[in-house]
Each structure stands twice: as structure tokens, then as C-alpha cells.
Structure 1
Amino acid sequence: MQPLNLPTYKFRIKSSENKHFIFDIIRKKYMILTPEEWVRQHFIHYLIEEKKYPISLIAVEKKLTINKLTKRTDILVFNNKGVPNIIVECKAPSVKITQETFDQIARYNLKLDANYLITTNGLEHFYCKMDTKNEQYIFLKNIPAYSDN
């Protein structure tokens, strides 16, 4: 897998029947190692190891229903009261982050009402704080560490 614009981490990777799998410490199981999963696992470790978010507050592929359609957030981080705080949308490194990506995560946020939205393809990361009063995104250089929330 290609290097990403994130710190490197030690992952548990295994091969079986010509497929590669990566261990997800949140779901506690091996997942097929796709380019998007590579980005997701890096970002999970980034949140835990660099930003110090507790594993217990992170959900992966959390189901939500929007207009009778079932969707899944790539990464959802809750605050210590169990309220959604950060939604992360991961794309494969080959996928360009576009307005459509922001629209997707914004639709999820209509339901979840998180404070921060992040879109990443592992190479580019966009961090936004929601300004619900003025109905706009405020782009940030990074997201706050857990201790700063």
C-alpha cells in the first residue's frame, strides 16, 4: 500500500487466499485491506495515538438512516457524554476530495449534528468546525486533541 500523509503505525496485516487483511482495533477483527481501509486504519490510529481520543469513544461504519436509506459513517467519534463530536469520511488515495465528498458528510451531519467534519484520502485532509449559528463550515488546520474538547 502506498505511503500516506499521516504518521506510520504498526499494523497487524495477514494474507489468506491471495487477499490481504488489516486488523481493525475498533471492530476487533481483520478487514479486507482496500485502499480506503488503509486510509481509515491510519486515521483511526492518528486519532488514538496523536490526538489521544479514547478507543471507547470511536465507532467505525456506524449505521444511520437518511431518507429511508441506510448509510454508514467511516469513523464517528463521540464526546464523553455519548454525543457525536467528529465525523470522518475516508476515501482511497486515488479519489480526489471534492464538493460531493463534503455534501456526503454534510448530509450525515444533518442527522448526527457533530461539531467537526473531516474528509481525507490519506494524502489530503480537510478539517471543518461546524458553525451552526451561521450555517457554515470553518476550515481548520487540524482538529483539537481530545483533551482540548
Structure 2
Amino acid sequence: MESLNLPPFGHKVKELNGKPHIYDIIRRKYIMLTPEEWVRQHFVHLLINQYSFPKSLFAIETGLFYNKLAKRSDIMVLNTDGQPHLLVECKSPDVKISSATFAQIARYNFTLRPAYLAITNGMSHFCFEIRNGQIAYLDDFPVFERK
């Protein structure tokens, strides 16, 4: 896998059924290593190691419904009250972040209503805060604060 614009971490990769798999510390199992999964695992470790998000508040690829269609969020971090706090949409490094990507996370926002939204392809990253119905671009990701 290629180097990303994210800090490296001590990942565990092994071959299962002839294909590489990476250990997911949240789901506690090996997941097929795709370019998007590579980005997701880097981002999970970034949030835990540099922004103090507790592993216990993560949900990976959880289901949600939008206009009666089943969708999945890549990374959801809850707050200590169990409510959506940070929703992250991950893309493969070869996928350009476009207006379609922003529209996708905005659709998820209608259902989940987190305080923060983030988008990454491992090379470019964007984070937004949602406050009183307004979306503001942030220069960095929020540090987790316990209540």
C-alpha cells in the first residue's frame, strides 16, 4: 500500500485466503486490505493517538438509512452520551475528493446529525463543525473532550 498524508502506525497485516488483511483494533478482527481500508485504519489510529478519541466510542461501517436506502458510515465516533460526535467518510487515495463526496457526507449528516464531519482520501483531509445549523470549515480535527 502507498504512503499516505497521515502518520504511520504499527499495523498488522496477514494473508488470508490468498489476500492481504489488516487488523482492525475497533472491530478486533482482520479486514480485507483495500485502498479505502488502508485509509480508514490510518485515520482511526490518528483519531485515537493524536486526538484522544477513546476506542470504545468508535463504530466502523455502521448502517443508516437515507430516503429509505440503506447506507453505511465509514467511521462514526460517539460522544460520551452515545450520540454521534464525528462522522468520517473515507475514500481510496486514488479517488479525488469532489462535490459528490461532500454531498454524500451531507446526506449522512441529515440522518445522524453529528457535531463534526470529516472527509479524507488519505492524502487530503477536510473537517467541518456543525453548529446551530451552520457548517464551518476547521483547520484541524477536534480533540476529544470528556464531559
TM range (shorter): over 0.9
Q: Which residue of 2 aligns with 1:98?
A: 98
Secondary structure, counterpart of 1:101 in structure 2: helix
Q: In the TM superposition, what is the alpha-carbon distance from 1:125 to its structure 2 partner?
A: 0.1
2:138: which partner in 1?
140
Question: Is the partner of 1:147 in helix, strand or coil?
Answer: coil
TM-score, scaled to structure 2: 0.96
Deviations 1:36-58 (A, max 9, x none): 00000000000111111000101
CA shift for structure 1 position 62: 0.8
Q: CA deviation at 1:17?
A: 3.5
- Pick which of 100-109 and 124-133 moved more: 124-133
Letter paired with 2:55: I
Matches within 5 A, 1:1-149: 1-133=1-133, 136-147=134-145
Structure 1 residues 11-62: Cα deviation after superposition (integer angstroms, max 9, x where no partner): 1100133310001111111110000000000000001111110001010001
Q: Deviations over 1:75-109 (max 9, x none)?
A: 00000000101000000000000111011111101
Give me the CA root mean square deviation: 1.3
Secondary structure of the residue that 1:146 maps to in structure 2? coil
Aligned length: 147
Give the gaps of 5 or more residues in structure 1.
none
Aligned mates of 2:89, 2:111 — CA distance in 1:
15
Runs of 4+ with deviation above 3 angstroms: none
> SS at 2:145's partner residue?
helix
* Residue 148 of structure 1: how far off its partner (Å): 7.6
Contact 2:80 2:146 in 1 (8 A): no
Q: 62-71 or 88-97, which moves further after superposition?
A: 62-71
For structure 2, the 5+ residue unaligned runs are none
Aligned partners of 1:100, 1:109: CA distance in 2, in Å?
14
Tell me the distance in 2 between the aligned counterparts of 1:122 and 1:148: 27
Q: Which moved more, 1:94-103 or 1:13-22?
A: 13-22
